[in-house]
Structure 1
């Protein structure tokens, strides 16, 4: 099973300011519209939401396709999507903020925060969790927890998950600190640490909400959320995956979900914690990488610096991708029916985000994002 971000990582290794009108000296909207249509057309009626942001201003946005196939509902600017492993970047920024304020120490063993409830806690550090060097095996493949997820025989999309349900799949880490190995389990453990130091799940939610709103007042629940609420459900795109007969399977209905399937995002899934709009993800990356409103410059430099063990340049919840002849800092994500990709060109301060509600081996979000990154040119 492909879990949050693995596909995108391997391949890549409403108060909204209106976009500027196209003029003779500014053909960005035309270029971006054409790139979106050309790249997305190969994925049929897949729902796509995309945005380009510079210095807090939306310089272009686009959408196409179906948020829900039957009965058909088109994607709008308000449609919400699963971020999947793009969430790792958002969570890593919060963890580094907690380090800046002295709440956590990146190099202290996590036993100091969670005791011995997590295997390897006396050796594994928060830095290891952030950089995928903790060595935790994949709990989604572990016999103790795999049946809890689709198509497992104990999967129930209406039953909330808890950390205690996932804990039996967290096994002793393998050579912690020695090697890079992309680890969703490591980020679930990171989420547990941050929840404990915050004073519980609700306190963590509130602390993260304040963190976002300080960076940009537009980053409310309608743009980025970890809550599976009725309000979110009414705006949510359904996720689709292709079946062997060529039709699409609606993940929201395939297993009898009565709301948002409980494994799509939210606690305790800190490996894919958030959902929201392209604008929400875009404003977050822009505030972090371009406007410097989330972390100190030295902390951002530490965040994007490749871990010594990483062969692909992965830092702390983020990695570089080359597109359009430029290097972008960001993250992608993939989980049943959803695909995401986001990145900021640090040299120009331009952020491009793409969210798609269809997941195929062609990585729709990555494909469309690359076309848009190239089309962004010298904006």
Structure 2
């Protein structure tokens, strides 16, 4: 079991700034009865370290990589890089493309986005807080926590659920099209029933495979323990304490403004050319607990800095969260929410990606760099240009400018989803 210990405090702690103090005490004959003369005394603290800076060359390179995301098939994109050090931090925020293909409106740097599976670490952190309070244990079985909900639940632990080692079928692979009934609301029990009907893909704890069913169940466990909707628990334990003002967990089809519109390539009739169809508004409850959050790039970077910096979980529970349980064939180390990965330049990162109709999202974090990218993907595979942008942002600036994308076929959730049943979530 591998533990990525660097992430707990590195990269976000800002050293206390020492104020330079020059103290002079001068005794004059008019104020000193002794009449004695004294030399001025000067006391100075050690100068503070300069904050890191994103150079103008880096900013241009980052913007070019974001432009490539648009040129290779997305209608709009927004990204943010934060670099940190003992002296402070610096931020680059970039946009490309359009927020609305109809009006041609530009993308807002604070655009709201369906963050898809970037929701999962928030849900995991909330559940781990509850575990840390002694209200559940990571080795509790689903049958203990949710009696009768999951077939074979007595062999599946909460730890397996959070690390995708449960073997449960990912229900979204057998769902009707979003586009056919976008406002349809779903209950979590309905989603779990789809997984039960398909049966497991492997015996619990024997392998690792990404499954959205796991986080539907995580949300249900939160609700069973707290007696309240999981959305309230995440809001009260994560969103509000961190001041994530651009983040919400909607239960209906609406989206807050400003929003980057999402599109699917759909044919109006059999044999017709696929055209962009706006899919911005749909009911997100079909991704209950697994991909329901709406947020901004700034809020996502803030969440991860707080998470890895120990603001959300105490040290023992953060260690539990960052303990890699299994590594997939494409190189991802699955912990309890976050995933470990090594970039081609050798930088170790914590990461998560997201895929939902019309949207593709990435968040990647090292000791001193935090990068989040949202794409409004339209038709082409969005992963190659996104991975190029990730490596441009996360690899040291003295690396070669032409950075090769990851050698493992852009590991992430499936991106073949079109909203017709096989979307990744």
Normalised by the length of structure 1, the TM-score is 0.78
**Take 2:311 and 2:117, find their aligned partners in 1: how far apart are those partners?**
22
Among 309, 326, 340, the alignment partner of 2:361 is 340
**Contact 2:69/2:386 (CA < 8 Å) preserved in 1?**
no
**Take 1:74 and 1:234, find their aligned partners in 2: how far apart are those partners?**
13
Q: Does 1:50 align with 2:79?
A: yes
- Structure 2 unpaired stretches of 5+: 1-49, 400-425
Among 296, 305, 318, the alignment partner of 1:300 is 318
Q: Does 1:239 align with 2:259?
A: no
**Take 2:56 and 2:240, find their aligned partners in 1: how far apart are those partners?**
30
Asked which structure has the greater CA Rg, the reply is 2
Name the structure, 1 or 2, with higher relative contact order (CA <8 Å, separation 6+): 1
Do the aligned partners of residues 375 and 353 (structure 1) sit closer, same or farther apart at CA in structure 2, a change above 3 Å counting? Answer: farther
Cα RMSD of the aligned pairs, angstroms, is 2.9
Query: Which residue of 1 is the match for residue 194 of structure 2?
Result: 169
Query: What is the deviation of 1:85?
Result: 1.5
Query: Which residue of 2 is the match for residue 321 of structure 1?
Result: 341
**Contact 1:53/1:286 (CA < 8 Å) preserved in 2?**
no
The correspondence of residues 105-116 of structure 1 with structure 2, limited to 5 A, is 105-116=137-148
Among 282, 285, 292, the alignment partner of 1:273 is 292
Q: For each residue in 1:28-87, what CA deviation from the matched residue of structure 2 results, as whole angstroms up to 9, or x when unmatched?
A: 354134223234335236311111234695522111221111122211123111111122
Q: For each residue in 1:99-156, what CA deviation from the matched residue of structure 2 results, as whole angstroms up to 9, or x when unmatched?
A: 11122211101222221122222221110101111111122233xxx22x346xxx41
**Take 2:374 and 2:360, find their aligned partners in 1: how far apart are those partners?**
6
Query: What is the deviation of 1:342?
Result: 0.6
**Take 1:252 and 1:320, find their aligned partners in 2: how far apart are those partners?**
32
The correspondence of residues 68-87 of structure 1 with structure 2, limited to 5 A, is 68-87=100-119
Q: Does 1:157 align with 2:178?
A: no
Query: Which residue of 2 is the match for residue 183 of structure 1?
Result: 211
Among 311, 336, 361, the alignment partner of 2:381 is 361
3-state SS in 2 of match to 1:91:
helix
**Contact 2:59/2:92 (CA < 8 Å) preserved in 1?**
yes
Q: For each residue in 1:192-246, what CA deviation from the matched residue of structure 2 results, as whole angstroms up to 9, or x when unmatched?
A: 2122222132xx22221122256523x12xx221115687344322212446888
Query: Which residue of 1 is the match for residue 35 of structure 2?
Result: none
The correspondence of residues 92-131 of structure 1 with structure 2, limited to 5 A, is 92-131=124-163
Normalised by the length of structure 2, the TM-score is 0.70
Greater fraction of residues in helix: 1
Do the aligned partners of residues 230 and 82 (structure 1) sit closer, same or farther apart at CA in structure 2, a change above 3 Å counting? Answer: closer
Do the aligned partners of residues 269 and 332 (structure 1) sit closer, same or farther apart at CA in structure 2, a change above 3 Å counting? Answer: same
